[in-house]
Structure formats: structure tokens, C-alpha cells
Structure 1
Amino acid sequence: MLKNKSYIWISFIVLIFGIIVVPEIINRFKNNQVVEGDRLDAVDNNGTSNTNLIEIGPAPKFELTNQDNKKISNKEYLGKVYVLEFFFSTCPTICPKMNKSMMEIQNKFFGNPNFGIASITINPETDTAEVLKKHADELGVKSTNWHFLTGDKTYIFELANKGFNLYAGENSKVNGGFEHSGLFALIDKKGNIRCRNDAYGNPILYYDGLDKKGVQAIQQDIAILLRE
């Protein structure tokens, strides 16, 4: 008798669950809202949280000349979230891919006055302001906050290798004569380098500008920093 009563109660609970919960689940499937809100936004494609970005430290100070022959320093970017890269205009290897990634980032945040990009050449002897201006025009750059920067080669190499710890060097044996990292640095409005953790909880430091997932990740994190 007691066993039969238990079955009755279990059946009653299942019936109530079906009446209340199942229609709601069906509606969410119909409206494509099975998972929504902050829980989805807070997780990237690798399942790692990106809501608490790590502060690595202040970005190195710099002052260089842009494609309009105007002096630009890190102070120009204070109050803005910006992405920084090292490249050169005649690069035949990874730069075209980096250019494509950076154009995607520009287009994503185009029109936002609080976002900028800094592209620093590692071949300033060739990449004069005039050359960089032509390069920017050929890429289709629209943002007035995207500066292509040139200056003294020794200064730039120290900024890359010792300041940002992003490798750049000359090598006559490689195609193009220069080697450099394909990574992008992300800097917040206060001038601090920021990043997310990887799947193991370690800071990634920089974002892979050659990888689709890396570009998606930096776009997600730019959006977070713009809200801060």
C-alpha cells in the first residue's frame, strides 16, 4: 500500500513538471532562446570566462609619427581602448592576414570614438609617413583613430622587444627581410595591457591576429573594456 502511494506522488510531481516547465522549454526552442543573457555573453567559444580581464601592467610609453606626418604618443590613446601591432607594409608573409584581421576589428567598432588602433612599422627606413598613408588607403582604412606609426628603427625595435615583449627583428634569410610576431596587444582606457585567461586559468597576454578564434576573442574583450 505504501509503495503504491509513493508511485502516486511521483506521478503527480511528473505531471506538474510537464504542465509548468515543458511548454516553456518548447517556446524557447521555437524562439531560439534556449540559452540567453549574461550566461552566454560571459563565455567564449572555448568555454572560458572572459568577463574578468586580467590587468598585465601599464603599456610602454611611445611617441612616433603617423601617416599624416603628425606626432602621436600613447597619450593620444588615453580614454580609448586600443589594439596595437608591429608590422611592415611590404611584408609578404603574415602581414596580409594581420591586415585582414585588423580591418575586421576596425569595421566591428567603426564610429566608436573610444576605440583606436596603433600599427607600428618595424621597417621605418622604407615605411615613411607617405608610404604608410598610401598603405592605409589601399587597405581601405576609414577610422581616424587608426594610426600607422613610423620613427627611429632602434627605438621601435626596443619598444617591440623590450617594451611589449613582442618579437621583431631583421633577418636577411627570410622572405621580406624582417621577422615579427603576429600577436595583437589590447590596451584599456587607462593605458594598461589587458587580456583574458586561457582554458587552464593562465593569462594569454596577447591575442593571435592570425587565428579566427583569436580575432573573435579580442573583439569580445574590446567590447567588455569599452563598457568599463
Structure 2
Amino acid sequence: MRKNTYIGIAFVVLIFGIIFIPKIFKRYANDDVVRGGRMHAIGESEELSEDELLYVMVNKKEKKVPAFKFIDQNKDTISDKDYRGKVFLVEFFFTRCTDICIPMNHNLQAIAKMYEENPNFGIASFSIDPEHDTPDVMKKYAEDYGVTNPNWHFMTGDRSDILKLSNEGFYLATNTEDDLDNGLYHSGLFALIDQNGFIRSRSDGYGNPKPYYRGSVPMDATVAEGEEASEIDILIEDIKKLLEK
């Protein structure tokens, strides 16, 4: 009787490993997996399509934009309250960046132009180099990119507040306070926020949210097989979905 029980348990473990371990591995191998919290897992029986917008869940709660207040390129005080009722994008960057910031902000400028006349859309760009990126520096930066959308704010402020906002508020990786000796770094990802302040995203194919959109690949780039593709096209689709609600 005991031998048969062990055989039954072993069979169950084997089936679990065949079905679920590859899916768990894929979630954690994906660079877009949210850090610092658990994402909501939705059963496959719900048959979610990969283009359906989900909420990002952390500790079983819908992840919402944290409170913030900074100064923008026009020396105006901008807070999370200024984005209430708007669909908006979030990025972390710095003006002296000569790498991924360039395609990121060209992509954002293309999107900003599409919605320049829409008061219900905005962009929040936070500098991780606030000592250099003063309002005047960022105003010149915005002008160089041809930014005219009044709802795109380039924000600066206390470095510790900005790094905390990126790493703890949005889980968009940047330097931490004790990690500033080897140069500045940040992710090339964008967060999409709905009108109620919740982070939204698509399914990864297993019913889990992919929290962010790859923003560092030019929207019209031709990429070889195996290289990271642009996600700006699907981001534009998802902005439109939210604005139409």
C-alpha cells in the first residue's frame, strides 16, 4: 500500500514538472518580469488573448502610480495629480545619455505627435541625473527633440526621491543611492498608465501581465531573428484602447 502511494506521488510530481516548470521558467527568464513583488497569475481556463490589457498585480493588489511631485522643464510643479484622468507613459532617462535614451525619446516624440491635440494623453519623463538636468537643460533637450506636446513633462528633483520612484514605485530599474560610482543606468522600458492611475499591460501568453513595453528599439527598426523587436506598435494600439474607454 505504501509503495503504491509513493508511486502515485511520484507520478503527480512528474506531471507537474512537465506541464508547469517550463512556464514558470519562461516567466522568470523574461527581462520584463516585475521586480520586488508577485504578479497576478490568471488561470489558462480564462483563455486571455495576448493583446488583452491586464492590471499589474503586486502582493495581490492592482499596482497604482505612487504619489510624486517634481519640477518640469518649464519650472512648473508637476505631480501625479496632474495626470489624473489621463492615459500616460512613464520613462526614466537622463539628457547626457548617448545610448538607449536616444531611440526611447524619438519613439516617445512620435507618439506625442500623434496625441498632441488630445488633452487626455500625457508623458512623464523623470531624469535620474537631476544635478545636471536642471529645468533649463531639459527645456533645451525637449526643444532639440522638437517636443511641443504640452502634456509631456520632463521632470527633475531630489535624486533619492527619483531613484526611489523608479525602483520602488514603478520597478523600472535604475541606479540606487549606494550604486552611483559606475555611471548612470536605467531600463529601456516604458510603463503605460490608465485614467485611474493603474499600470496596465498585455498578457505574456500564460495569463500573466508583461508589466512594461520595450522602448529602446526604434519603432521602424528592422531586426534580425532572435534580436529584440520594437514594441512601440503594440503600445500605440494599447494607448488607443485605453483612450477609447
* TM superposition score category, shorter chain reference: 0.7 to 0.9
Q: Deviations over 1:209-228 (max 9, x none)?
A: 02333111111100000011
Of 90, 93, 104, 1:98 maps to: 104
Aligned to 1:60: 66
Residue deviations 1:167-209 (CA, integer Å, cap 9, x gap) = 1115544xxx211001001001111111111233321101000
Using structure 1 for the length normalisation, give the TM-score: 0.74
RMSD of equivalent CA atoms: 1.3
Shift of 1:109: 1.8
Higher alpha-carbon deviation: 143-152 or 57-66: 57-66
Deviation of the 1:103 alpha carbon: 0.9
1:214 partner letter: E
Following TM superposition, by how much is the alpha carbon of 1:55 offset from its aligned partner in structure 2, in angstroms? 1.5
1:217 aligns with 2:234: yes
Give the Cα separation in 2 of the matches to 1:220 and 1:61: 27
1:227 alignment counterpart:
244
Contact preservation (8 Å) 1:171, 1:179: no
Residue 158, structure 1, aligned to residue 164, structure 2? yes
Larger C-alpha radius of gyration, 1 or 2? 1
| Counterparts of 1:123 and 1:152, CA distance in 2 | 10
Structure 2: distance between partners of 1:171 and 1:93: 18
Task: Name 1:202's counterpart in structure 2.
Answer: 208
Matched residues in 1 for 2:181 and 2:114: separation?
Answer: 37
Q: Which whole-Å CA distance do the structure 1 matches of 2:206 and 2:171 have between them?
A: 22
Secondary structure of 1:196's partner?
strand
Query: For the residues of structure 2 that align with 1:89 and 1:114, how far apart are their CA atoms?
Result: 26
What is the CA-CA distance between 1:120 and the residue it aligns to? Answer: 0.4
Identity level (%): 45
Q: 1:193 aligns with which of 195, 199, 210?
A: 199
Matched-pair contact (CA < 8 Å) for 1:128–1:150: yes
CA offset digits 1:138-159 (Å, max 9, x no partner): 1100100000000000000000
Q: 1:114 aligns with which of 112, 120, 140?
A: 120
CA distance in structure 2 between the partners assigned to 1:77 and 1:153 by the alignment:
22
Tell me the number of residue pairs that the alignment of Structure 1 and Structure 2 aligns: 177
Distance 1:55 1:113 in 2: 23
AA in 1 matched with 2:198: N
- Is the Cα contact below 8 Å between 1:94 and 1:182 reproduced in 2? yes
Structure 2 unaligned blocks of 5 or more: 1-48, 57-62, 220-229
Q: Distance in 1 between matches of 2:188 and 2:114?
A: 20
The 1-side partners of 2:113 and 2:173 are apart by: 27
Query: Which residue identity does 1:143 align to in structure 2?
Result: N
Which secondary structure does the structure 2 equivalent of 1:210 belong to?
coil
Q: What amino acid does structure 2 have at the position aligned with 1:225?
A: L
